[in-house]
Structure 1
């Protein structure tokens, strides 16, 4: 990370060259879905809103991304092995082992790098210069300070923190279905009683993870025992928790405390990198989009992706490809989850209406798509919303089942209610979306709702609130 002298202005200026705005420090968990949105916010604040002194703690894979935002990159050394396929549901032993290895093991290194960075920033930017912290909700660095771990040198209290949450509303509140099970929202009295019972009984399943969190915190000097449900941490840390969504995309009354929880809308569609290298078939896609509606030569475009983490392609991507193999009226675009990843299908087994690329931005393909088939990662889901593309969703791991439920409830997707649908399930879902215009109409309405919410503007207003101490 370097010493304090390296933490002058991100562009090489003297540390106090920008006194009209506070110093901003971002920290994100080392995964694409947790970093991309925060990087977009940082870039906007730096280049468009005059925040010149921005520092950003992130994993090594995101160094170049962060540097393009105008922020000073600070390396978070914690890395985890991406799990290609997680077997079992949210309450399986494998699920809790994954949470321990991915999130529990990030607590100690994240605390150390955050503490050191705050100390270095204070040296480079002495008081009265103010500092604000943008904490991605699963980055773990903030957690230890809530349990009595030592403050950074030069601080009597932590900077005010905006907690940036990159998923649905999650909590152990019995007014909502338990997290991770993909249960529908129906607050009938019998369901409320069931949810309360499930929340109470599930604590024993989480106890091993709770104890592990406590061990990690004790190792760095905590003075308070950790007894919380880990799912609550995503919402509870920081001074204000900000979610990239609108009320239409979540359950009623999730903002019971509107001062603490803010639904600011989805982030705007990002501009494409001017150096983006397009696949050789790209002109075929854009030429198809340019044809007028009703032209007999115009094909429907189905875009399928499983994101960057749960990449067991036999579950969704391959069934989608095979379900549409005989459709001359459909062009299938499939993106994989890692650069240089080989196609899961041999060339001779790839249907003639399918185009596959290893890794490619959603915002490039979605404007040309009629249906988005996804395993319901929240980032991909919101890309679908912000591009106005109706969806077919199939996912149960982590938050995915709950994302599916919200999307179906909002009327913008067909929920296949499984992680591994059959070809017939996928085909039926796609045909339903293509043949019923209400899905497209509704997603365009919600897209407009999110655009009008002005996420970036609201986020800046919240930072200003924190600065004023409102």
Structure 2
């Protein structure tokens, strides 16, 4: 049996899938330790996992620029997020990672795609166990076939985006790349050698927690990328049904709306306008999940029911449309049940997730974080009135049903065996990947 270290950035949408993977490995008989924020110790304990706490750092907060054209807002937001979520925690994450590696002989390290503390380990040239990056959000890697990550644009078939990506790297984010290289040099590990958002290509594998059908086609996808399928929610006992559950069994159409568990400090972004848009309709039942937000939702219309958290295996089989700010896990859970989506999100990776929903035809990208009630009502009518949205969602659901994420992850780990720093025979050296020896997407 193997011994694995699983490191996750202290953000719920990153920690939960990583803890789920760690729990699945433990159930297969492996020894697994988590490295993440102390606030997630109880979550790890629920999965019978030990957790080493990262040093206390300022909490990573949602960032949104509200001024200027959307592309300018996205650049400003992206720059702020890179600095706060990718660059600021790097040194502390690296120190914690090295400390843990010094305590035990791990057969492999799994880190989420925001855990940049792994970068110095990857570029230092020293002995290390295999490192696998886990894609808990959309692929960030630059591609000639895709617009730069973060702008939320869908690719146009046949267009070459090389020049646009070069401009983003060398002009818009030049200063941030310099910050990354300076941070790594201060740790005595050289330089990154790749653009900040491309750093997962340095790892031995990139386990993308999705299916190819929910990603843009790329002819230059690196050899190291493995699509595992979405990670299901943590295994928990089925919750007791709320007293209003019978209202969902009356044949009325059901809309589910959520702002997730992270960017939900102001429920006026999405929940309140949704309730205003749909509250007077007799043919709909609205189920809202506040995700534990401290914000008060206010008066509820007669057809709306609210819970802090909702069991998706119980709810989603009955849902006709899901309205969300675009969390990667929640969106893919909806798609796994063939539920079409309406997405409104402006920070982090949410514009990219929304764009993929629109690109696949499985829903509507509202291209804003604060849609009006009129915009929401129109989008709901559009999705309910056009069966092509559900057909597209069901197509992705069928692909997801054919995936087996935990088996795939276990198989990848078995490729490396128990010998540190052994690279899989079919995976080209990191230098070759970075230089462009890449393959067609599946």
TM-score range, shorter chain: 0.7 to 0.9
SS at match of 1:283: coil
2:244 aligns to what?
Answer: 284
Q: Tell me the TM-score normalized by structure 2.
A: 0.86
2:225 aligns to what?
Answer: 261
Q: Is the 8 A contact 2:145 2:217 kept in 1?
A: no
Please report how far the alpha carbon of residue 394 of structure 1 lies from its aligned counterpart in structure 2 after TM superposition.
1.8
Q: Tell me the TM-score normalized by structure 1.
A: 0.81
1:30 is aligned to 2:13 = no
Please report how far the alpha carbon of residue 70 of structure 1 lies from its aligned counterpart in structure 2 after TM superposition.
2.6
Q: List per-residue Cα deviations over 1:385-442 (Å, max 9, x = no partner).
A: 2233211112233322221222122221122222222222211211222233332233
Distance verdict in 2 for CA 1:50–1:466, change over 3 Å: same
Q: Is the 8 A contact 2:316 2:339 kept in 1?
A: yes
1:215 aligns to what?
Answer: 182
Of 301, 304, 307, which aligns to 2:260?
307
Distance verdict in 2 for CA 1:248–1:304, change over 3 Å: same
Distance verdict in 2 for CA 1:145–1:270, change over 3 Å: closer
Segment of structure 1 superposing worse, 30-39 or 262-271: 262-271
Aligned residues: 413
Distance verdict in 2 for CA 1:409–1:91, change over 3 Å: closer
User: 2:60 and 2:255 mapped to 1: Cα distance?
Assistant: 27
Distance verdict in 2 for CA 1:84–1:398, change over 3 Å: closer
Point out the structure with max Rg over C-alpha: 1
1:142 aligns to what?
Answer: 118
User: 2:233 and 2:34 mapped to 1: Cα distance?
Assistant: 22
Distance verdict in 2 for CA 1:436–1:92, change over 3 Å: closer
SS at match of 2:375: helix
1:437 aligns to what?
Answer: 387
Q: Is the 8 A contact 1:316 1:419 kept in 2?
A: yes
Q: List per-residue Cα deviations over 1:95-137 (Å, max 9, x = no partner).
A: 3233212221111111111111111113xxxxxxx61111212
State how 1:264-413 maps to structure 2 within 5 Å.
264-273=228-237, 276=239, 282-285=242-245, 287-289=246-248, 291=249, 297-311=250-264, 312-338=266-292, 341-345=294-298, 347=299, 350-413=300-363
* Structure 1: unaligned runs, 5 residues or longer: 1-20, 123-129, 152-156, 292-296
Please report how far the alpha carbon of residue 255 of structure 1 lies from its aligned counterpart in structure 2 after TM superposition.
6.6
Please report how far the alpha carbon of residue 143 of structure 1 lies from its aligned counterpart in structure 2 after TM superposition.
0.8
1:159 aligns to what?
Answer: 129
Q: List per-residue Cα deviations over 1:232-286 (Å, max 9, x = no partner).
A: 12x31320101111121111136733x4111121123544345x576xxx2323x
Q: Is the 8 A contact 1:43 1:68 kept in 2?
A: no
SS at match of 1:172: coil
User: 2:313 and 2:89 mapped to 1: Cα distance?
Assistant: 30
User: 2:233 and 2:43 mapped to 1: Cα distance?
Assistant: 16
Please report how far the alpha carbon of residue 85 of structure 1 lies from its aligned counterpart in structure 2 after TM superposition.
5.2
* Structure 2: unaligned runs, 5 residues or longer: 67-71, 425-442
1:42 aligns to what?
Answer: 22
SS at match of 1:46: helix
Please report how far the alpha carbon of residue 363 of structure 1 lies from its aligned counterpart in structure 2 after TM superposition.
4.4
Please report how far the alpha carbon of residue 34 of structure 1 lies from its aligned counterpart in structure 2 after TM superposition.
0.8
Distance verdict in 2 for CA 1:300–1:270, change over 3 Å: farther
1:70 is aligned to 2:42 = no
User: 2:80 and 2:154 mapped to 1: Cα distance?
Assistant: 26
Q: List per-residue Cα deviations over 1:64-90 (Å, max 9, x = no partner).
A: 111222322111124333435522456
2:101 aligns to what?
Answer: 118
1:170 is aligned to 2:148 = no
1:59 aligns to what?
Answer: 37
Of 79, 82, 85, which aligns to 1:96?
79
Q: Is the 8 A contact 1:54 1:70 kept in 2?
A: no
SS at match of 1:232: helix
2:90 aligns to what?
Answer: 107
1:231 aligns to what?
Answer: 197
User: 1:96 and 1:107 mapped to 2: Cα distance?
Assistant: 16
2:427 aligns to what?
Answer: none
1:126 aligns to what?
Answer: none
1:182 is aligned to 2:161 = no
User: 2:330 and 2:296 mapped to 1: Cα distance?
Assistant: 20
Distance verdict in 2 for CA 1:91–1:421, change over 3 Å: closer
